[in-house]
Copies of this chain bind each other. A is one copy, B any other.
Amino acid sequence: MMDAIDRVPVLADVAAAAGVSLSTVSRVITGRAPVSEKTRSRVMEAVAQLGYRPNAAAQALVNGRSSTVAVIANHTLRWGYAATLHGIEEQARAAGFSVMIAVVESSDPAEVRRAIDGVWSQPIAGAVVIDFDAVGAATLDALPHNVPVVAASGAWQPGADRPHAYLDDFEGARQATDYLLSLGHHTVHHVAIPSTSEHSGREWGWRRALTDAGRVVPDVVRAGYDPESGYAAAERLDPGATAVLCGNDEVAIGVARRLQERGVSIPRDVSLMGFDDQPFAAMWVPSLSTVGQDFVGLGKRTFAMLHSWILSNEQPAHSTVLPRLVLRQSTAGPRPGA
Copies of this chain assembled into the complex: 2
B146, B227, B314: which contacts A7 (Cβ < 8 A)? B146
Report yes or no: B89 in contact with A53, Cβ–Cβ below 8 A. no
Nearest CB of chain B from residue A101's CB, rounded to whole Å:
6
Report yes or no: A283 in contact with B253, Cβ–Cβ below 8 A. yes
Q: Identify which of residues 28-82 in chain A touch chain B, using a CB-to-CB cut-off of 8 Å.
A: 51, 53-61, 66, 68, 76-77, 82
B51, B61, B82: which contacts A57 (Cβ < 8 A)? B61
Residue from A59, A119, A280 having most chain B Cβ neighbours under 10 A: A280
Report yes or no: B102 in contact with A119, Cβ–Cβ below 8 A. no
Say whether A122 faces chain B, with CB atoms less than 8 Å apart. Answer: yes
B77, B102, B147: which contacts A86 (Cβ < 8 A)? B77
Q: Which residues of B contact A8 (CB under 8 A)?
A: 146-147
Nearest CB of chain B from residue A308's CB, rounded to whole Å:
14
Q: Give the complex CA separation of A315 and B2 in angstroms.
A: 8
- What class of interface size applies to chain A in its complex with B? 35 or more
Nearest CB of chain B from residue A197's CB, rounded to whole Å:
21
Report yes or no: B315 in contact with A1, Cβ–Cβ below 8 A. yes
Report yes or no: A103 in contact with B89, Cβ–Cβ below 8 A. yes
Nearest CB of chain B from residue A5's CB, rounded to whole Å:
5
For the complex with contacts A51-B144, A56-B122, A227-B282, 14 further pairs of A-B residues with Cβ separation under 8 Å are A2-B145, A5-B145, A5-B146, A5-B313, A8-B146, A55-B121, A56-B121, A57-B123, A59-B121, A76-B82, A98-B118, A98-B122, A227-B280, A250-B279
